[in-house]
Amino acid sequence: MTQMTRRTPNRTLRTLQREVDSLFDQFFNRSSDGSPSAVWSPRTDMVETDDDFRLRLDVPGMTKEDITINLQDRTLTVSGDRSSERTDEGEEFVRVERAFGTFHRTFTLPDAVDADHIEATYKDGVLTITIPKTEESMRRQIEIQ
């Protein structure tokens, strides 16, 4: 039984072009809109309780002055810059796995949060952002009559 396969050379060429463009963007640190992109992204956990949401971002080796938290409308953006610890004492790195440079993480918040009472703490390399819920959105138990 003979099997026929339809080949589309232009599709393959377009795919290759996108992959090459992506490699250049990564190498030259550009995002899809041409602006500089983040070099690394901190690992983040999000927890929801009855009263609030909590974001925990791993940002070891940074100080709280290195980190910026902005809120605009319902968009919370956490950004920062971690400096390299390299010295000029003739050290030659054999392997570098830790990321340095800028980062940013953006989170879209639900409507039912109290944006005026968002708090952030930084301890032992973990940034914790507590986002309280509004009274109306908090879970409550309904008594059965």
Q: What is the pTM of this model?
A: 0.67
If asked whether residues 27 and 47 sit together in one domain, one would say no
If asked whether residues 30 and 45 sit together in one domain, one would say no
- Name every residue whose Cβ is closer than 8 Å to that of residue 107 and which is 6 or more positions away in sequence: 46, 55, 75, 76, 77, 78
Closest CA to 42 of 98, 118, 84: 98
If asked whether residues 50 and 80 sit together in one domain, one would say yes
If asked whether residues 104 and 134 sit together in one domain, one would say yes
**Is 60 exceeded by the pLDDT of residue 79?**
yes
If asked whether residues 46 and 25 sit together in one domain, one would say no
> Is 133 part of a structural domain of the chain?
yes
Q: What is the pLDDT of residue 11?
A: 62
If one counts the domains in the chain, the total is 2
Q: Report pLDDT digits (tens) over 50-71.
A: 899 999 999 998 999 999 999 9
- Answer whether 108's CB lies under 8 Å from 75's CB: yes
If asked whether residues 51 and 20 sit together in one domain, one would say no
If asked whether residues 76 and 105 sit together in one domain, one would say yes
If asked whether residues 46 and 117 sit together in one domain, one would say yes
Which residue, chain included where needed, has tokens 């080949």? 7
Q: What is the pLDDT of residue 46?
A: 94
Average of per-residue pLDDT across 111-128: 94
Closest CA to 82 of 129, 144, 127: 127
> Is 89 part of a structural domain of the chain?
no
If asked whether residues 22 and 47 sit together in one domain, one would say no
If asked whether residues 14 and 70 sit together in one domain, one would say no
**Secondary structure of residue 6 in the 3-state scheme:** coil
> Is 145 part of a structural domain of the chain?
no
If asked whether residues 30 and 74 sit together in one domain, one would say no
If asked whether residues 32 and 52 sit together in one domain, one would say no
Tell whether the torsion through CA atoms of 105, 110, 135 and 117 is positive or negative: positive
Residue ranges making up the domain that contains 27: 10-36
> Is 2 part of a structural domain of the chain?
no
Q: Report pLDDT digits (tens) over 20-49.
A: 766 666 665 555 544 455 578 899 999 999
Higher-confidence residue of 98 and 2: namely 98
Average of per-residue pLDDT across 80-87: 80
